[in-house]
């Protein structure tokens, strides 16, 4: 790695145990988060991206359980931490914001009370100092007349305002890493842009690293430096954001991009990815994407490919980019440029 990383996730495995069956929601996920940068984790619902995010802070509830792997935060494996040690990390060095601002704030406590809580736990701030800091934080996240907001209850705020409060809460103790789980999905489009803009500003100001969980490639393009694409509990491609959009390698990533309307390409029509995500109990033995992949060979159906380096800071989990590839050699050159040239 050419630059300092703040978080390294290695072979993370999180499973849910339902009625005697193990459902591998996160099945050997590996990625790095460079310091001060934003890593996007993209995937459809059920790809395991949110579970990966929750696993980082160990917020997985029964019947879910982290069954293996390493989560190295500044060199320390968080999975070795006990509950007490983990609590000192949460909301302090690593913070999290969630998808549903409407339900993520406790309805019976004021904004101020909820903001002060983390400050009291991690910084030992009393009521007055806490309130001062809370007002400061609300101002920072762009909430008008912050002093009067601290005594308000969540129901008195709009969805966008609540998400700003969530962000303020997450920033309370100057975290080094912010995990944002679909922070804008539940918001109106105009509010979405504001929130993303706010996160970017705050990142620059505090040199904070961000993990941005999203299903929206538009959000990725706007906010991320690096991207991990997840499919069925596995990372299938990791690259910096420019490479990913310009030169996607995994057929799934290509499919995702093709199903997106783009202004920079002359598209005849949008191509949805055929088929559907396999159900947990009928997971293919080979490449998880093989049943939907237009290039799949017998090899793909039988053997699971590894996540291999294919370039500088670029990894892909696909047989096409290995020596064993037994299908059409042409597909290796799978770049928009190459395609347009051929047409």
Orientation angle between helical segments 159-171 and 111-123, nearest 10 degrees: 10
Residue 337 neighbours by CB under 8 Å, 6+ apart: none
57 part of the interface to another protein, by CB under 8 A: yes
Which of 3, 106, 151, 322 contacts another protein by CB under 8 A?
106
Which of the 8 DSSP states describes residue 333? S
Q: How far is the CB of 251 from another protein (least distance, A)?
A: 34
107 part of the interface to another protein, by CB under 8 A: yes
Cα distance between residue 77 and residue 8, in whole Å: 9
Nearer CB in complex with another protein: 109/206: 109
89 part of the interface to another protein, by CB under 8 A: yes
Cα distance between residue 10 and residue 31, in whole Å: 7
Q: How far is the CB of 48 from another protein (least distance, A)?
A: 18
Helix (H, G, I), strand (E, B) or coil at 235: strand
Nearer CB in complex with another protein: 137/256: 137
Exposure of 112 in the CB half-sphere (CA atoms within 13 A): 18
Span from 39-47, 138-146, 165-173, 283-291 in contact with another protein (CB under 8 A): 165-173
Cα distance between residue 39 and residue 226, in whole Å: 5
160 part of the interface to another protein, by CB under 8 A: no
Sheet holding 209-214, edge to edge: 94-97, 177-181, 209-214, 38-42, 226-231, 234-240, 314-316, 308-311
Nearer CB in complex with another protein: 47/104: 104
Q: How far is the CB of 170 from another protein (least distance, A)?
A: 8
Span from 92-100, 123-131, 267-275, 276-284 in contact with another protein (CB under 8 A): 92-100
Q: How far is the CB of 118 from another protein (least distance, A)?
A: 4
Q: How far is the CB of 103 from another protein (least distance, A)?
A: 4
Which of the 8 DSSP states describes residue 190? H
96 part of the interface to another protein, by CB under 8 A: yes
Which residues within the stretch 111-150 sit at the binding site for another protein (CB under 8 A)? 117-118, 121-122
Dihedral over alpha carbons 285, 288, 294, 298 (to 10 degrees): -20
Cα distance between residue 224 and residue 200, in whole Å: 9
154 part of the interface to another protein, by CB under 8 A: yes
Span from 26-34, 56-64, 272-280, 282-290 in contact with another protein (CB under 8 A): 56-64
Which of 104, 184, 192, 253 contacts another protein by CB under 8 A?
104
73 part of the interface to another protein, by CB under 8 A: no
Nearer CB in complex with another protein: 154/286: 154
91 part of the interface to another protein, by CB under 8 A: yes
Q: How far is the CB of 188 from another protein (least distance, A)?
A: 17
For the chain, the C-alpha Rg in angstroms (whole number) is 21
Residues in the chain: 343
Cα distance between residue 251 and residue 240, in whole Å: 17
Cα distance between residue 173 and residue 68, in whole Å: 29
- Prior bond to 97 cis, omega within 30? no
- The string of DSSP letters for 284-297 reads -SS-TTGGG-TT--
Which of 169, 228, 239, 307 contacts another protein by CB under 8 A?
169
183 part of the interface to another protein, by CB under 8 A: no
75 part of the interface to another protein, by CB under 8 A: no
Which of 2, 75, 82, 108 contacts another protein by CB under 8 A?
108
Which stretch of DSSP H or E encloses residue 253? helix 251-258
Positions touching another protein (CB under 8 A) are 57, 59, 61, 83, 87-92, 95-96, 98, 100, 102-109, 117-118, 121-122, 153-156, 166, 169-170
């Amino acid at each position: 790695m050419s630059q300092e990383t703040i978080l390294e996730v290695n072979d993370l495995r999180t499973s849910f145990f339902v009625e005697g069956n193990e459902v591998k929601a996160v099945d050997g996920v590996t990625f790095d988060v460079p310091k001060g940068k934003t890593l996007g984790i993209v995937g459809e619902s059920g790809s395991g991206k949110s579970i990966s995010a929750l696993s980082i802070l160990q917020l997985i509830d029964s019947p879910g359980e982290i069954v293996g792997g390493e989560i190295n935060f500044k060199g320390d494996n968080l999975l070795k931490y006990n509950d007490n040690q983990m609590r000192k990390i949460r909301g302090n060095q690593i913070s999290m914001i969630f998808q549903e601002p409407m339900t993520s704030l406790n309805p019976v406590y004021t904004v101020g009370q909820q903001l002060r809580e983390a400050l009291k736990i991690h910084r030992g701030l009393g009521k007055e100092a806490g309130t001062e800091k809370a007002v400061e934080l609300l101002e920072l996240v762009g909430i008008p007349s912050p002093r009067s907001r601290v005594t308000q209850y969540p129901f008195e705020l709009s969805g966008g305002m609540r998400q700003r409060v969530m962000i303020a809460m997450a920033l309370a103790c100057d975290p080094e890493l912010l995990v944002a789980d679909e922070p804008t999905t539940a918001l109106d489009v105009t509010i979405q842009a504001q929130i993303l803009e706010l996160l970017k500003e705050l990142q620059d100001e505090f040199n904070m690293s961000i993990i941005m969980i999203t299903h929206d490639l538009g959000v990725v393009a706007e906010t991320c430096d690096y991207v991990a694409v997840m499919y069925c509990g596995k990372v299938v491609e990791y690259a910096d954001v420019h490479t990913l959009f310009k030169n996607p390698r995994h057929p799934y990533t290509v499919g995702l991009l093709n199903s997106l309307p783009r202004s920079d390409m002359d598209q005849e029509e949008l191509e949805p990815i055929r088929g559907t995500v396999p159900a947990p109990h009928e997971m293919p033995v080979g490449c998880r994407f093989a049943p939907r992949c237009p290039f799949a060979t017998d090899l793909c159906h039988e053997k699971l490919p590894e996540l291999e380096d294919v370039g500088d800071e670029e990894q892909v989990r696909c047989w096409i980019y290995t020596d064993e590839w037994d299908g059409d050699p042409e597909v290796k050159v799978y770049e928009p440029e190459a395609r347009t040239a051929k047409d």
